[in-house]
Amino acid sequence: MPAYKTGVRGRPKKTFAYMIKSRRVTRGYSQRQLAALLGIDHTYVSHWENGRRCPNVGILHDLVEVLEYNDKEVRWLLRTLAEGKV
């Protein structure tokens, strides 16, 4: 486990998975609702939030729009993905 600060249930805070889950919960979407908005299967969302997979660039754009990330947050998300902090 990297030495990042941990959030709820011991999940690392500075990871892509944590950013996605925390924003989804804040916006009041369930995994199924978010998946429906993105036009994908809900298991994909579960995989992202558990750090098993990461979205491709096309879906990432839709995700950014649905979860209303600002430019700074998007750059941060991309940096975490590039650094492998999934």
Partner 1 sequence: MKLVVGIDPGKDGALVAIHFDGTVRSVELTKEKFTVPIGKGSRREYDAAAMGNCLVELHALYGVQLVVIEKQQAMPGQGGTSMFSIGMGYGLWLGAIATLGIPMQIVHPRTWQKRILRDVPGTGKGRAILLCKQRLPELNLTPGRKRKPHDGIADAACLSMYGLISGGHWG
Distance CA 27, CA 39 (A): 18
78 near partner 1, judged by CB under 8 A: yes
Output 29 or 76, the one with its CB closest to partner 1.
76
Count of residues of this chain found to bind partner 1 when the rule CB under 8 A is applied: 13
From the CB of 82, what's the least distance to partner 1, in Å? Answer: 7
The one among 64, 76, 85, 86 contacting partner 1 by CB under 8 A? 64
Token output for 60:
């990432």
From the CB of 81, what's the least distance to partner 1, in Å? Answer: 9
Torsion over CA of 34, 73, 59 and 9, rounded to 10 degrees? -50
Cα 18 to Cα 4, 25, 79: the distances in Å are 12, 11, 14
58 near partner 1, judged by CB under 8 A: yes
- The residues binding partner 1 (CB under 8 A) are 56-58, 60-61, 64-65, 71, 74-75, 77-78, 82
